Structure 1
Amino acid sequence: MTAVAVGATIAVQVITGPGEDDAASAAEARARQERATRSQDRDEPAKAEKAVPAKAAAPTYAEAMAVTYPLSGDLTGPDTFTSAGPAKAPGKGRVIRYRVDIERGLPLDGELFAQAVHKTLNDRRSWGGGGDRTFERVGADGKADFVVTLASPGTTDKWCAKSGLDTSEQRVSCDAATTDRVMINAYRWAQGSTTYGDEHIHAYRQMLINHEVGHRLGWGHVGCEKAGELAPVMMQQTKYLTTDGRTCRPNPWPYPER
């Protein structure tokens, strides 16, 4: 018999079942991943949410009125119209009721046009600013004394011709006095005139409104009376600012001194 030395080490091989090593390794890997994730959450700041671009603010009335818009001088619309909604008369005196019509299909802001007409006519420097009259805008079904109409050049020519006026050569506006329409040529509304320039398109649009409504109120054309002074609003400022060698400055108001 062979003696076994005391303290000798006996090696024992442990045999595991199939897949147990893989399962153990996977479990350990998952544990390591969880520890790493928790550590990352502690060490790294939270990522900021993706910024959403802010929507551009709509232009103000003054900003929209200061911009020229593309529009062909040869455009002819369908000669059908939509009407703006009502707006109360803000002043005192006799109430003059008008409607605003915009020709269908125009690539222009009809709401801006309606707002401009109401603001301009009721400005203290305009026909309604003296306290003797005020302007109220009626809707499609309201009874109006006249209709301020924004129309294409071709349609403007058609309505102005009803009153014997030729607006085709210089694409100008008119008071079609034998009808109920005061015609504002959309080409001029969009593009302005050389007498005012692009930088004064807002004032030019005010002049268009005041000039043509002035005809409806009974005022005729006048010229430049004194060189260097403000042009009378009833001067044909779209065409010129000089009369018999006297040149006036552009002016959109009947009573600019108010």
Structure 2
Amino acid sequence: MPGPRKEYLEAFEAPEAPDAVDADGEDVFAAGAPGAVPPPRRTRPGAGADGDHENAADGLDDDPAADGADGTEPPGKSARGVAKGGKSRTFTGVAAAAVTTVLAVVVAGQVANGPQSDNKAQSKGGPERGDGGAVSSRTDGGATPSASASPELATYGQKMAAPYPLDPKLKGSGAFTTVPGKDKAPGKGQVLRYRVDVEKGLPLDGALFAEAVHKTLNDDRSWGHGGTRTFERVSSGRPDFVITLASPGTTAVWCGKSGLDTTEDNVSCDSASTERVMINAYRWAQGARTFGDDRMHEYRQMLINHEVGHRLGHNHETCTEQGALAPVMMQQTKFLATDGVTCRPNAWPFPKGRQG
């Protein structure tokens, strides 16, 4: 920042410059002296940084208390009059101009530096928001989050394809809640009524599970193939069976009532001596290595078809042809090969649909 002009500095430093007090002891800068320039006022804190242009131009303060309680000069200076010639007045004018110039330069520097300080504080406080305060959801690469990142916006297919976290050793409350509502049987043939129960406190979407059961069982590739039967979901009255989503611990309890052990591989079961077809929530959430993460939707369809198949009287089957689709009643959660013959994962009892 440029300093005061040279001639102003010389006015103070030149040896021939007259003293501030004349030969008679008069103070040429005394307040109230005839023709004297009034003393400069002190600048207000922050002057020039808040848009106060009236005082920002000269950096002056109108508060008389800055000089003294009664508006007089502070102690040490006299209020005596002065009667000096033209030379003293000329020096007085030069000195006052120098002081005014210095103050103007200082104030101008404060004005210039003020906005820069504000900008620095803004950059440290967080990102600038040019959109009304909203922070962009884009990543550094410019990609937007997928629909699966917002479950309420995801489609049925996206939800069914996504894995969900669940403890393989979780044991829930053992109490169930029925998914409300009713889904009519859409097909022909024998009508089988079922209810959907979900264990209380289970951190999974019960409505999604109920939707999956209804869509799977009424697919033409499922047990209603060819119009032989159709499935209707109810939430009251006596159903033909209750398909139940439960924690691994609770699944083991209900399967144990029918003499079945599901703890070794954390699997599901049809508890035939009860009304419940048990779907292990861990398998529903995490799938199985035989299908992998990329076929989660199919694995869940297989779980439903396999366990309901037991309820309809179908027993376990094995793989009999290398590279063929596995029978839906094969224990595909555990393996895809039997006696050296390996099959491909399959979710349906009639995988060809209407053509089969």
Equivalent-residue separation in structure 1 for 2:131 and 2:242 (angstroms): 54
| 1:139-158 Cα distance to aligned partner (Å, 9 max, x none) | 1x222000000000000000
- Aligned alpha-carbon RMSD (Å): 1.7
Paired residue type of 1:87: D
Alpha-carbon distance, 1:50 to partner = 2.9
Alpha-carbon distance, 1:129 to partner = 2.9
Higher Cα radius of gyration: 2
Unaligned runs of 5+ residues in structure 1 are 1-28, 30-47
Aligned to 1:182: 277
Aligned to 2:323: 228
Aligned to 2:169: 74
Of 159, 179, 188, which aligns to 1:92?
188
**Other structure's SS at 2:226 match:** coil
Distance 1:91 1:52, change over 3 A: farther
Is 1:117–2:199 an aligned residue pair?
Answer: no
After the TM superposition, which segments of 4 or more aligned residues of structure 1 sit over 4 Å from their partners?
A: 51-57
Equivalent-residue separation in structure 1 for 2:163 and 2:131 (angstroms): 40
Q: Across the two proteins, how many residue pairs are aligned to each other?
A: 211
Higher RCO, Cα 8 Å, sep 6+: 1
Higher strand share: 1
TM-score relative to the length of structure 1: 0.79
Aligned to 2:132: 50
Aligned to 2:5: none
Aligned to 1:131: 227
Equivalent-residue separation in structure 2 for 1:127 and 1:154 (angstroms): 29
Aligned to 1:196: 291
| 1:120-154 Cα distance to aligned partner (Å, 9 max, x none) | 00001001232010000011x22200000000000
Distance 1:170 1:52, change over 3 A: same
Paired residue type of 1:118: H
Equivalent-residue separation in structure 2 for 1:116 and 1:66 (angstroms): 12
% same residue: 65
Is 1:165–2:247 an aligned residue pair?
Answer: no
Unaligned runs of 5+ residues in structure 2 are 1-53, 55-129, 138-146
Equivalent-residue separation in structure 1 for 2:248 and 2:232 (angstroms): 27
Equivalent-residue separation in structure 2 for 1:152 and 1:172 (angstroms): 11
1:32-51 to 2 correspondences below 5 Å: 50=132
